[in-house]
Structure 1
C-alpha cells in the first residue's frame, strides 16, 4: 500500500504530556498500525522531528523509539521544507512565541492549551493563522474520552429532557514536594511562569461545556492558594504564587432554558469518587454521572423516592440504583483520536472545528474567571468575533 509521509515538528516532547500522550500513544501508535488510512487508499505516515532544550533527553527518547530526527534548534526545524506541521506541548509561557514562529514559517499548527497567556495574544494567534492560510487545531482531548463521549451521546439522544444543571468535581492531592515528590512540575504553582489551576483547567471546562451543552455566557469564580509553600525539583522551598484551587459557576445558553454548571477544580483535595474528574448532569427526564471512562444513568421512571430522616441510619445503596451505560463501540486513546482527525484535516481537508479560535475562547474563560475572582462578581462573556462572523 502506498505511503505518504508528513513531517511533524514536535516541540516539548521531553515533558510528560508531550512524550507520553502525543509521541508514544498518538504518533508512534499511528505508525504501529501502519499509518493513517486516507480516502485515496494511501496511508499517511507521521515522521516526527523531536524538539526540546536538552540534547541528552532528546537523544535518549529518540534512541528508545528508533527515531533519528531531533534538535534543540527550533528555527532550524521550522526552516525544513519536509516539515508540514508544528506541534507545541511546551510550558504555557513559551508557547505563543513558538506558535508565531511556526505561523511565519507557513506550518500547519496543532497545539496544547492554553494557546497563550492572555486573550489578546490568543486572538492574535488565531488571526495570524487565518491570514497565513494554514490549518490550525487545539488539543481538546477530554471530548474524545469514553465517559464524555457516552455523555454526549445521551445529550444528543434526548435522554435528559430539559437539562437543568451540571456539577463537576476535578482534582487530587498534589504533594507539596517536601516529604514526597510532587506529581506536577513546580512551575504550575508560580504565576510568573504561567501556572495556576484556572489557566490550566478552565480552558478544558470551556470546551467540554460548549461542545456538549452550549455556549458559556457568564462566569462567577473564587480562587485560592491553599498551600502557600511548596518544594521544587531540587528540594528547595518556594512560595506558591498561583491558585491551586478554583470554584466556578458557569452559565450556559440553551434553547430549552439556561443551564447552570458548578465545577470545583483542586490540587488540594483527596479523592472520594470513582474517577479523578466526574460530571453529574441532571434533567427533567433523567440524570447521569460521567467520568473519563465510565458513565452511569438514572431515568425518571426508575428514580427512587428518598425520604429525609436524620434520626435513622441510611439503608439505601444509592450507587446500586444507577445503570451503567454500555460502551457500544471500541474507544481509542483520546489524544490519538484527535491527532487522526487533525492529520486528515491537513491531508485531505476534512472538517475540523477545534481550531485556534476555540482555543481563544478557552483562554477568554480563564481570563474572565480570574477577573471574577479578583473583583468578587459575576462576569458576562462577550462573543469573540472574527472576520465574517462569530468565532
Structure 2
C-alpha cells in the first residue's frame, strides 16, 4: 500500500477498508473460504509509516518500494500524488503484481493507456477506485433506474463542492498540492474522472464535453504558512452529452459555499419521474405526484417544494463503499470474479478530464473518442 500517509490512503483505504476487512475475518470467496489481507505500508516518510504501523499493529513498512515488489507478488495499491503514480504502477506490473489504484491513473490519456496496455500484456489483474458508485444515495438511484422509475431519462444535473479555506486566517482542509498544477493538482483532473464513471455506469458513455475551467482563488497559504500561487483550477463547469441523448451538467468547485443537503447532489429528470440523490439520501417525485406551479413574481411562493418529494428507503445495510470495492477487487484477483472498473475505465476518466481542459482552453465543444487497447 503506497501512499497511506495521505488523508485518503490512510483513512479510507487502510483503516476503513483493509484493516476493517482484517477485523471481519477476511474476504469471503466463492467456495466459502476467506482470504486475509496482510498490508505492507510504503511511502517516503519512514517516521510516519512507523507511527501508523505501531498504531495499528502492522508488521511491515518500507521506504524501499522496489525491494518490497521483489519480495513475492500480491496486490499493489497506489494512493500517491498523481505525478508519482504512473512510474510506480509500471514497476509493480513489471514485478508481476496485480494493481489496484486511486485515480487519475496517470497525468495524461497516453500515460493511462500505456498502463492499461502494460497490465494486459503482463496478464495481471487491474482495477481503479470507483467509490462514488458505492454511495448509498447512488445505490438507491441505481435501484430506481433498474426499476424503470424515470421512463426516458432526459437530463442529469450535478452539484459538488464546498469552500476550501485559503489557509491564512483558517487552515485549509485540503492539501496545498491540490492547487498546484505542477504537482498534479486541479479539480478538473480530480473530479471529471469521477463524473465519467458515474455517468457511463448509470446513464451512458460521454460522447462530447463543453467545459469552463477557472481558478477563482489565485493565492493560497500552504501547510508551513507560506503564501503560494494557485496554478491549478479550483472550479470546473461542464456539460456532457451522453449516448442516447441525455444531457448532463456538473458544477464542481472548491470555492462555493454549500446551500444543499449534501456535498454532492444529482438531480435526474425523466419523462415518468425525477430524483435527487446525494451521498446517502435519495428523494423522488413521480409524474402522478408532480404539482403544477405557476410563475408569479408579484406574490410570495406558498408551496414548500422540497416537501413534495418522497424519500427512498434504505431497505438494506450499506457498507463503506471503499471497503466494498476492495472486497470486490480481491475476489477478482483470487476468484476471477468480473470487475468492470479496470484500467481502461480509468483511461476514459483521464481522457474526459484532458478533453475538458482542452474545451475550456479553446472555448469549444470537444467530441470524446472511444478508446481501446
How many pairs were matched up? 373
Residues 273 and 287 in structure 2, CA contact (< 8 A), matched pair in contact too? yes
Q: Does 1:102 align with 2:102?
A: no
Tell me how far apart the structure 2 counterparts of residues 37 and 207 of structure 1 sit (CA, whole Å).
26
Residues 1:73 and 2:60 aligned together: no
Residue 86 in structure 1 maps to residue 76 in structure 2: yes
Distance 1:375 1:61 in 2: 46
Helix, strand or coil at the partner of 1:60: helix
Name which of 7, 16, 22 aligns with 1:16.
Answer: 7
Within 5 A, what are the aligned runs for 1:240-279? Answer: 240-254=230-244, 258-279=245-266
2:222, 2:39 → 1: CA distance?
Answer: 31
Counterpart-to-counterpart distance in 2, 1:38 and 1:68: 25
Q: Pick the aligned partner of 1:285 from 253, 269, 272.
A: 272
The offset of 1:78, in angstroms, is 0.6
Question: Partners of 1:120 and 1:63 in 2: how far apart?
Answer: 40
Partner in structure 2 of residue 5 of structure 1? none
- Per-residue Cα deviation, 1:108-162 (whole angstroms, up to 9, x for no partner): 0000000000000000100000000000000000001100011111112110011
- Residue deviations 1:284-327, cap 9 Å, x none? 10000000111000000000110111111111111110000011
Distance (Å, rounded) in 2 between the aligned partners of 1:165 and 1:24:
37
CA distance in 1, matches of 2:279, 2:223: 29
Is 1:188 the counterpart of 2:178 in the alignment?
Answer: yes
Any conservation in 1 of the 2:196–2:349 contact (CA below 8 Å)? yes
Correspondences of 1:35-184 after superposition (within 5 Å): 35-81=26-72, 83-184=73-174
Q: Distance in 1 between matches of 2:10 and 2:122?
A: 29
Instruction: Return structure 1 stretches of 4+ with deviation > 4 angstroms.
Output: none
1:295 corresponds to 2:282? yes
**Runs of 5+ consecutive residues of structure 2 not aligned to the other structure:** none
The one of 10, 25, 28 equivalent to 2:19 is 28
Deviations 1:340-386, CA, capped at 9 Å, x for gaps: 00000001111111000000000000000000000000000010022
TM-score (norm 1): 0.95
What value does the CA root-mean-square deviation take over the aligned residues? Answer: 0.6
SS in 2 for 1:159: coil
> Deviation per CA, 1:155-197, whole angstroms, max 9, x where unpaired?
1211001111000000000000011110111111111111100
8 A contact 2:141–2:277 mirrored in 1: yes
For residues 43-102 of structure 1, the C-alpha deviation after alignment (integer angstroms, 9 at most, x for no partner) is 110000000111111011001111110001110111111x41100000011100100100
What are the ranges of 5 or more consecutive residues in structure 1 without an aligned counterpart?
1-9, 387-391
Distance in 1 between the 2:35 and 2:66 partners? Answer: 25
